[in-house]
Structure 1
Amino acid sequence: MLIFLGFDGVMHPASGDRVLFAHRDAFEALLREHAHVEVVITSSWREVFDLDTLREDNFSRDIQSRIVDVTPLIPGAMRWQEIQSYLDETRYAGPYVVVDDDASEFPQGWAPLLLCEPAVGLDAAKRDALAARLAN
């Protein structure tokens, strides 16, 4: 299973007085409970940092190998289109969930999306919802 992961508004609040990656420990604990899950980064941070930097600077050593890729940067495309391009290019046909905070980047009611509140990020309720999806 894949998680397509945003950073701002998911791993930490999108703006304001925030601690970067405030939800990292809880997110990683969830990954440790679900060994079959790998992560593809969709965050705009991929426009500035390469995969190795994103992996090594932001995730614990035991989780780094499960951060497997980033979605392609497609000028003018919405995030869901970049995810679809990734799925097409890699021929991945398994289950996936998208964790993001920007509803405008996705079709309304898009089933794979787990939408976080930008001011909060991946709080306990959203982690529970994610855990339920990963268990299925």
Structure 2
Amino acid sequence: KQCSYGCLHFGDCARACPFDAIYMSEEGLPVVIEDKCTACGKCVEACPKNLFELHPVSQGMIVFCRSKDRGPVSRKACKNACIACGICSRACPEAIVIENNLAKITNYKKIDPDKIPEIEKCPTDSIGRLKKEDEG
């Protein structure tokens, strides 16, 4: 079963990018090449499911999942679905909440860098750093 909130794997985003900053992975998911991305927004406009959002890398963390389905339902469709377990929101309640069965970062400036390892204990990896090389 495919996630109703997930990528359709059409590659519209990659074709729309005038800078060749997006390619489709072997799993059929878009991968952004940060060094090539100019944040022009063409991918945002092209995505038929409105899955793309522009985020400054300085923001640090992102919730990768978009599913608002309850945990068991979303997990059947995707191994990386947010299951609303609350690990991230308990680690940093001033910045992360669970809303509509999905983790939501409400204030990026209030993410305590010391809490990032706790936040990253997400059992499905549905929340994490924007850039893996930022890992300490």
Specify the structure having the higher radius of gyration (Cα).
2
TM-score scaled by structure 1?
Answer: 0.25
Structure with more helix by fraction: 1
